[in-house]
Amino acid sequence: MLKVPEHEMNQVPPYEFYTQKRWENWLGRAKESGFQIKESEEEAGKESAVFVNMVDDVILACLKVTARFEKEMLSKEMALQILEEIRDIVLAEVEPISEDIDLMIDSVQTSLMGALVAFECYVMGDYEEGADINELIKAAIDAEASDNLELALDYTAQCGAIVLKGQTLPEEIMADLPYGIVAEWLDGIDSISAAMVGSDSYKEFDEDDEDDAI
């Protein structure tokens, strides 16, 4: 494989993987949705779609970063820098919109936290590829129950990293997750998994393509 020289790998890439403007556009869509929490899931489905799409859009951007990293088109340092920039954009405090929309955006950001630490863990290589994902999930839940959220987040990150490496999330355990922050973080990991089994266009994206503007 042709390797990109290290000095070129660390240059700022011309392609903007994710921008502040893009995030603000999604926040604008969320505001325009007029979302309200309703008893009927079917009734809330259309309005809530914007929040699912917000998450998916960020994850697609991160998958583009890891795809370039895997092809040695980005160094570890540059990939981590880009992921940090994405994190700073999407996890920044958001101006209040409405009680229900604010709750949904908070949930979006919590899910994205789980996804982003997974991408960072994957790039850093801070995981065991053959680790038992079931045990990692249980360890994360136990850590949360012990109020050790830092450890819980670390286990969640490892779960996500091995999902990025090709493992799948166990449906039975995911269906029975106790309500809590680990469950929300794992929603972000589940979104990564769903994106990977969908279109793999992120692996061969065109840096000159401007058709993905929202």
pLDDT in tens, 113-129: 999 999 999 999 999 99
Give the model confidence (pLDDT) of 30-71 as tens digits.
999 999 987 666 655 677 899 999 999 999 999 999 999 999
**Tens of pLDDT along 59-104?**
999 999 999 999 999 999 999 999 999 999 999 999 999 999 999 9
8 or 83, higher pLDDT: 83
Sequence spans of domains, the chain: 18-127+183-204
What confidence tier does 206 reach under pLDDT thresholds 50, 70, 90? low
Asked if residue 199 has pLDDT above 90, the reply is: no
Write the DSSP string, the chain: -PPPPHHHHTSPPSS-SS-HHHHHHHHHHHHHHT----S-HHHHHHHHHHHHHHHHHHHHHHHHHHHHHHTTSS-HHHHHHHHHHHHHHHTS------HHHHHHHHHHHHHHHHHHHHHHHHHHT-S-TT--HHHHHHHHHHHHHTT-HHHHHHHHHHHHHHHHTT----HHHHHTPPSSHHHHHHHHHHHHHHHHHS--GGGG--TT--TT--
Give the pLDDT of residue 1: 38
